[in-house]
Amino acid sequence: MPPKRMSTAVKRLMTEYRQLMKDPPEGISAGPISEDNFLEWECLIAGPADTCYEGGVFPATLVFPADYPLNPPKMKFVPPIFHPNVYPNGEVCISILHAPGDDPNHYESASERWSPIQSVEKILLSVMSMLAEPNDESGANIDASKLWRDNREAFNARVRGDIREALGL
């Protein structure tokens, strides 16, 4: 039986993984869940300094489509986190993870959306930035968006409480 050919997606992800291992961005760890499946990754993202997320470590998954890098992966925090740009089920909603091309809702420009020149590192850095600076204009979690806008002190207290609970404190 001839050896199975490696897909373009897997080749690209192997290259990106090697780069992340060689020069990991501060506060981020990511890699395939199993060497047998490079299309599913685990990630750990440290809460950015000087934010209410500081001190937290947030696990997430990245699931890549078979046609990666033509289309973006899906990212999900497991367990979900309270954030304006994270759906209550944990799925992350930011421009870089939206399919390439024009936004049917005319909210984002095509340049803000996914393109094949993006990378896992760029996604993770964008999510870390999103933690520090939520976009409450396009809320995925309406309750979090409203609390972020209307009562920042209560929002910060809720997030800090969630972090303490997750850490067992």
- The dihedrals phi and psi of 111, each to the nearest 5 degrees, come to -70, -20
Domain ranges of the chain: 8-166
Residue 142 CB coordination number (10 Å): 12
Residues 6+ positions from 79 with CB-CB distance below 8 Å: 59, 90, 166
The amino acid that residue 55 corresponds to is G
Strand (E) positions, 20-107? 28-34, 37-46, 57-63, 74-77
CATH T-level assignment (fold) for domain 8-166: Ubiquitin Conjugating Enzyme (3.10.110)
Phi, psi (deg, nearest 5) at residue 91: -70, 135
Q: What is the pLDDT along the chain (169 residues), one digit of tens a residue?
A: 334 566 899 999 999 999 999 999 999 999 999 988 999 999 999 999 999 999 999 999 999 999 999 999 999 999 999 999 999 999 999 988 988 766 655 566 656 778 888 999 999 999 999 999 998 877 899 999 999 999 999 999 999 999 999 888 7
pLDDT of 111 reads 64
Q: Hey, what amino acid is at 88?
A: P
Q: The tokens of 18 are what?
A: 């090697």
Cα(85)–Cα(137) distance, rounded to whole angstroms? 9
Q: CB atoms < 10 A from the CB of 141, how many?
A: 22
Catalytically active residues are 93
Three-state SS for 55?
Answer: coil
